[in-house]
Amino acid sequence: MSGVPRAAVPVAVLHERVLTWFDAQKRALPWRDGRTDAWGVLVSEVMLQQTPVVRVEPVWRAWMERWPTPAALAAEAPGEVVRAWGRLGYPRRALRLREAAVAVVRDHGGRVPDTEDALRGLPGVGAYTAAAVAAFAHGRRTVVVDTNVRRVLARAVQGRAQAAPALTAAETRVAAATVPADAATSVRWNVAVMELGAVLCRARGPRCAQCPLVDVCAWVAAGSPADDGPPRRGQAWHGTDRQIRGALVQVLRETSRSVPREHLVGRALESARLDPARHREQTDRCLAGLVEDGLVEPVRGGRFRLPA
């Protein structure tokens, strides 16, 4: 295929090595138990975006017990959905998931659609999530490309320490070229290579000695060279808008009543351990952004609450 770098090892060998490793070493995750329906898979994929499995699993279990179907979530108040999201981060995902549930009920008879095109039509569902749900819930042959998949293929096939900062067309072609033709095997491959990236072929501290590809990996064969791309800065947290937004939402999660602005801002800054003199203007701006995003609702008397 034009534009696809030649792998150091036949793709069939990659398949055999990774699938054998996965069958023996895969983590027992509840959304992979064979009993979870497409709704449970969709919920897991949305929750897992930029969030580790260890934080997602207890929230996913509680969520599925409370809202086991799209119809159940669609009937819930947005504020309760944000409250149940807890500390997973990026709480807009909670609202978008509820909006997706509404669309599933309204447009698909309450059943999560089984094609990538239809899935991409749901609020908050992008190319990756659509491919993942089509594959893992419906057994479709798709190209599932997340950060973990990109890193494994960058190392094993292309000999690079890290994938590009953003998904490129070349990376997508490489990923597509490695997906088995058989639908059932392609589903196993997609989840297996993702698992390999999450467990062994990690961004920092890769466990190469335990990797089934160690003797055929192009990156290892090249001497495991350092990343030659642009410097990757770690994500700051303290004093960022993201921290302050999270603190504001958490104050409202902890009560069923509306909260006066001064109390809300004061509690948020106190919990974030930020100086009110330095961060008050920033906090006011973050609160306005939360209102605009639909995550916080103003009510009479200068008070705020989670959306009703």
pLDDT in tens, 181-218: 999 999 999 999 999 999 999 999 999 999 999 999 99
**Rounded to whole angstroms, how far apart are CA atoms 95 and 118?**
19
165 and 99, same domain (yes or no): no
pLDDT at 228: 81
pLDDT at 229: 74
47 and 109, same domain (yes or no): yes
Residue 46 inside a domain? The answer is: yes
Mean per-residue pLDDT, 114-137: 97
Residue 229 inside a domain? The answer is: no
**Rounded to whole angstroms, how far apart are CA atoms 191 and 180?**
12
pTM for the whole structure: 0.90
**Percent of the chain at pLDDT exceeding 90:** 92
Task: Answer with the one of 136, 166, 181 that is the final residue of a domain.
Answer: 136
* DSSP summary character for residue 229: S
71 and 206, same domain (yes or no): no
In the predicted structure, residue 8 carries a pLDDT above the cut 60: no
The residue among 230, 271, 292, 227 whose CA lies nearest residue 92 is 292
In the predicted structure, residue 162 carries a pLDDT above the cut 50: yes
pLDDT at 192: 98
Mean per-residue pLDDT, 130-159: 97
pLDDT at 237: 84
217 and 160, same domain (yes or no): yes
Cα 253-254-259 angle, rounded to 5 deg = 80
Q: Which two tokens stand for residue 300?
A: 């009479």
26, 192 Cβ separation under 8 angstroms: yes
Residue 6 binned pLDDT confidence (cut-offs 50, 70, 90): very low
129 and 159, same domain (yes or no): no
Range of the structural domain that residue 251 is part of: 241-305
Task: Answer with the one of 192, 221, 250 that is the final residue of a domain.
Answer: 221
* DSSP summary character for residue 303: E
46, 56 Cβ separation under 8 angstroms: no
298 and 211, same domain (yes or no): no
131 and 203, same domain (yes or no): no
Element (H, E) at 305: strand 303-305
Residue 5 inside a domain? The answer is: no
**Rounded to whole angstroms, how far apart are CA atoms 200 and 204?**
10
State the catalytic residues: 45
Number of domains in the chain: 3
- Residue 200 sits in a domain whose CATH number is 1.10.1670.10
Instruction: Lowest mean pLDDT of 4-8, 52-56, 68-72, 241-245, name the range.
Output: 4-8
Mean per-residue pLDDT, 129-138: 98
155, 217 Cβ separation under 8 angstroms: yes
In the predicted structure, residue 1 carries a pLDDT above the cut 80: no
- Residue 84 sits in a domain whose CATH number is 1.10.340.30
121 and 68, same domain (yes or no): yes
Residue 111 inside a domain? The answer is: yes
123 and 168, same domain (yes or no): no
Task: Answer with the one of 221, 253, 274 that is the final residue of a domain.
Answer: 221
Element (H, E) at 53: helix 53-66
Distance from CA of residue 301 to its chain's centroid? 38
19 and 165, same domain (yes or no): yes
**Percent of the chain at pLDDT exceeding 70:** 95
Element (H, E) at 285: helix 276-293
Residue 18 inside a domain? The answer is: yes
254, 248 Cβ separation under 8 angstroms: no
Residue 33 inside a domain? The answer is: no
In the predicted structure, residue 254 carries a pLDDT above the cut 90: yes
255: Cα within 13 Å, side-chain hemisphere: 14
275 and 214, same domain (yes or no): no
Encode pLDDT of 136-150 as tens digits.
999 999 999 999 999
Encode pLDDT of 89-117 as tens digits.
999 999 999 999 999 999 999 999 999 99
Residue 115 inside a domain? The answer is: yes
132 and 42, same domain (yes or no): yes
Q: Which two tokens stand for residue 74?
A: 């669609």
Residue 236 inside a domain? The answer is: no
